[in-house]
Amino acid sequence: MTDEPQTTELRIPTSDGAVLEGYLARPTNASSASTPGVLLLHGFPSGAVWAEHIGADLPELASRCATEMGWIALALRFRGCGSSTGNFSLGGWVEDVRAGLAALRSEGHPDRVWVCGFGTGGSVGLVAAADDPDVAGVAMIGAPADFEDWSRNNKRLLAHAHQVGAIKDQHFPTDLAQWNRELSTIRAVDAAERLSPRPLFLLHGAADEVVPQVDARIVAEAHGAGELRLISGAGHLLRHDPRAIAVLLGWLARSRNAV
């Protein structure tokens, strides 16, 4: 029988005043001198899963990383989601990834860290990781190459973010022009180049109708050596697809052994 992980609920401050919900899982008797760490990131809230609930299942995956793989795992809830404070902005979510990486290092003390993100979390995770030389590798699951669609439809996105609870302050954003600008300037496809030659893994549903698989192909090509894996018959929501999670954990193990 596998030992239960050691778990800690965290409150993680960001540089701009938000406080994020985090769940840290450590393998029992782990030695940080030789234990890898992974930051787990959820996607953007939808009409089916509102901000209050998005990412609530990631602690389960974090515990699995700790018990089955022996990794230190931190599941992060972005600003505006769960009990995290603040309101959604794309630049804010990139800052949240940086804060999550800092917390994983200071609380878990892993020897190296990886970033794994679903949907929007995968894209902003890559953007933050590309500029952090101590990130060993990135996995993007069903993640977009850019946010041009959001930029072209920014008013609809803003209304949606308010509706699903990712933006709670009716007067937010105070700088609408900057909020909109981030939608066109924060691009995973550009960050892929900066991440190279560190490993990049792209996992995508072959039948994804939310984020076309061409996005994954574009990011893989921009990286130069990105590894793309399609899950036959799968749509956008891969978090609870056992095939996808098995492939993801397998890649993490291989990537760790390659370091």
**pLDDT tens across 229-255, in order?**
999 999 898 999 999 999 999 999 999
Tens digit of pLDDT per residue, the chain (259 long)? 357 899 999 999 999 999 999 999 999 876 556 899 999 999 999 988 999 999 999 999 999 999 999 999 999 999 999 999 999 999 999 999 999 999 999 999 999 999 999 999 999 999 999 999 999 999 999 999 999 999 999 999 999 999 999 999 999 999 999 999 999 999 999 999 999 999 999 999 999 999 999 999 999 999 999 999 999 999 898 999 999 999 999 999 999 887 6
Structural domain includes residue 23 = yes
Query: Would you tell me the crossing angle of helices 176-185 and 154-164 to the nearest 10 degrees?
Result: 100
Structural domain includes residue 27 = yes
H-type alpha helices, the chain: 58-64, 90-103, 120-130, 148-152, 154-164, 176-185, 188-195, 213-223, 242-258
Residue 11: which domain range?
6-258
Please count the structural domains in the chain: 1
Structural domain includes residue 54 = yes
CATH code of the domain containing 14: 3.40.50.1820
Structural domain includes residue 197 = yes
SS3 of residue 111 by DSSP: coil
Structural domain includes residue 168 = yes
| pLDDT tens digits, one per residue of 87-120 | 999 999 999 999 999 999 999 999 999 999 999 9
Structural domain includes residue 1 = no
Pair 151, 180: CB distance under 8 Å: yes
Structural domain includes residue 146 = yes
Structural domain includes residue 101 = yes
State the pTM of this model: 0.96
Q: Give the Cα separation of 141 and 247 in Å (integer).
A: 11
